[in-house]
Structures are given as structure tokens and as C-alpha cells.
Amino acid sequence: MIKQNITEYNNVWVFIEHNKGKVELVSLQLLSKAKEIARDLHCDVCAFTVGDNVKPLENEVAEYGAKKFYIIENSALKDYRTEPWRDSISHLISKNKPAVVLIGATALGRDLAGTVATVLKAGLTADTTALDIDPETKNLLMTRPTFGGNLMATIFCPDNRPQMSTVRPGVFEAIKNPSKMEIIKDKFSITEDEIVKKIIEKVQTGEDKLNLGFYDIIVAGGKGMGKKENFKLLENLANVLGGTWAVSRQAVQMGWAHHTRQVGQTGQTVHPKIYIAAGISGAIQHLAGMKSSDIIVAINTDDQAPIFEIATYGIVGDALKVLPKLTKTFKGKLKI
């Protein structure tokens, strides 16, 4: 392992993930959390990103408290591709030596972080759900679930900098905290010809969001939904609640929904504020993907279904009958 002088490394850096000229919510959440960390470390929060035209993001970034915004603009960096982004970002980081680098644990963020950390030979902790500073050593303590949420591990990185972590979306709150921000433009020379990976096609479905983790309310359905057409009932309730809908593995296997909506061991791990499980019996693989939700509401005809073991509230009944009633009740109350 390369011995570093870790005192040279300073400041907390947050990667600004952006899509169609807008900052992704997770990056703002991380800016807010970074503020706390920076306070403990007596340093500044800095934001950084690359792209073809990222300067317009500055207003949003400044609003959430970054002191500096490091950017590289190059037309070859327009769409995310691992290799050019990896190299340009590695360049920024190794040049400016931040002590902490936080990246949202989105599909993009996790793809990027793994490669950047390897270039930098830095320690990287995946998908953390809690960040603290050790009051004595000032090391960053990164806590993350493993074994599908059955075990928590606190990871630290004592002798290497930067301390890198991807952080789960939705764990921290994005709090506005405007500050005067300096933009620092850097250069990274790369041309399209030098990039071997070509994007042939991009389908932004919008509808089929890959990252269910963005939502604080999820209405999920399983085998008990009976048929594909009934999934509209999930969507209706999700719309009323301003959340999204998801499915169990069985529903995917039945061909009722796409894998991108699957919650569980082999799908996505979610932890919304409210998770409504309709017609889901609660196989251990499914529970692994959602049991850290704040509140779980279970609807199932079988009062012995394992889902009731972890549900905050349980309703024994046919999801197909209960869901429309719930939608109606909530619609009336929420006045939407």
C-alpha cells in the first residue's frame, strides 16, 4: 500500500450528478450532509462535476451550501461514459486532494466510484447509510448494510485519502443553505476520437425509473395481485401518495412487470418512509430489499404471511379490494 501524507488532504467533496441540466436530488442531499461533516473537520464543502455544459448547475449547487464548485467542461464528456468521466474526475481529485469524496449510490455513481477509487488507489465504501466523524481520529466512519440488510458494518479508512463513499439516495435530507460559491474551471483534454465506448442508443423511459431508492413512498405488489392489469391499482395509489410502484420477484417472473421495478435480494434495495406491500407474502429475499423501510403496511389475505411479522400495520384482506378503497380514502384526505 502506498504511504500517504494524509494531512495534505483537506475539504469534503460532493459529486454533482446531473441529468438534462438538472442536479439529481441525491447530490443535494449529500451537500447538506457534507456541511455537517465539514463542520466537524473544520473545512469546506466543495462540489465537483464534469460534462459538456455544467456551469448552469451552479445556482442550485450554491443554494445547498458548497463553497467551491470544481468543473471540467468538454463536449466529449456530454453523456456519462465510465472511462472519460473516470479520467477527468480522477484528475480533479488527485490535483486538489480532498479528504472526503461523497458520491450518490445511483447506478451511475456506483459505476463511477469503483473505477475512480481504483485509479486513485483510494479506499471506497459502497452504499453507506450513515456518515459520522470519529471525534478522536477525525476519520470518516461510514456505516452500511451488508447481507441484504441483515448486518451493519462501520467502515473507516485510517491511512489513505481521500476517504471515498457512495451514499444511498434518500438517507439524508436536502436542506437549503445558500452560500457564496466560487467556480473553479479545470481542463481535461480528451476528444471523441480518443473514446472507444460509443453510446448507440439511450432510452430514457422516465416511467421505468431504475432507482426506486429515490422515492419516499412505494406501493408494491406481488403474486396476490393476480394479473398484470391489476397493477394499475398500485400505480393509482402511488400517484395519490406521490410515490412510485414496485413489485416482488414473483410478479416479474410472471411477466407482470419489468425487472427494473423489482424490490428484493436480486432487485433493488429500498428504504422509503412508507412501503405498502400488497399481495406480497414476504419471502426472505423480498424482505431483504425493503425491511429497512420506516413504515411497512402489509395487505394480504393470509394472516399467517411472513410479511406481517415485520409490518408496522397489517390489514388482512384482498389487496384488489383494499387498494381501491385506500386510494379513495387517501385521495379524499389529501385533496388532490
Give the side-chain half-sphere CA count within 13 A for 158: 3
Q: Quick check: 296 binds another protein (CB under 8 A)?
A: yes
Q: Which is nearer to another protein, 19 or 75 (CB)?
A: 19
Binding mask 29-68 for another protein (x = CB under 8 A): ----------------------------------------
Residue of 217, 225, 237, 278 that binds another protein (CB under 8 A): 217
Q: Which is nearer to another protein, 11 or 125 (CB)?
A: 125
Q: Which is nearer to another protein, 44 or 127 (CB)?
A: 127
User: How many chain residues bind another protein (CB under 8 A)?
Assistant: 98
Q: Quick check: 270 binds another protein (CB under 8 A)?
A: no
Would you say 323 and 233 are in contact if contact means Cβ atoms under 8 Å apart? yes
Q: Which is nearer to another protein, 51 or 145 (CB)?
A: 145
Q: Quick check: 326 binds another protein (CB under 8 A)?
A: yes
Q: Which is nearer to another protein, 12 or 140 (CB)?
A: 140
Q: Quick check: 292 binds another protein (CB under 8 A)?
A: yes
Q: Which is nearer to another protein, 147 or 189 (CB)?
A: 147
**12 residue type, one letter:** V
- Of 38-46, 62-70, 204-212, 222-230, the segment contacting another protein by CB under 8 A is 204-212
Q: Quick check: 111 binds another protein (CB under 8 A)?
A: yes
Q: Quick check: 117 binds another protein (CB under 8 A)?
A: yes
At 85, list the grid cell: 468521466
Cβ count within 10 A of residue 196? 8
Residues 214, 156, 161: CA angle, nearest 5 degrees:
95
In b/e form, how buried is each residue of 208-228, taking b as 16+ CB within 10 angstroms? eeebbbbbbbbbbbbbbbeee
What is the rounded distance in angstroms from the CA atom of residue 148 to the CA atom of residue 271? Answer: 12
Residue of 7, 136, 151, 180 that binds another protein (CB under 8 A): 151
Pairing of strands 295-300, 274-278: parallel
Task: List, in order, residues 6 or more apart from 313 with CB less than 8 Å away.
Answer: 295, 296, 297, 298
Q: State which H helix or E strand residue 143 sits in.
A: strand 140-146
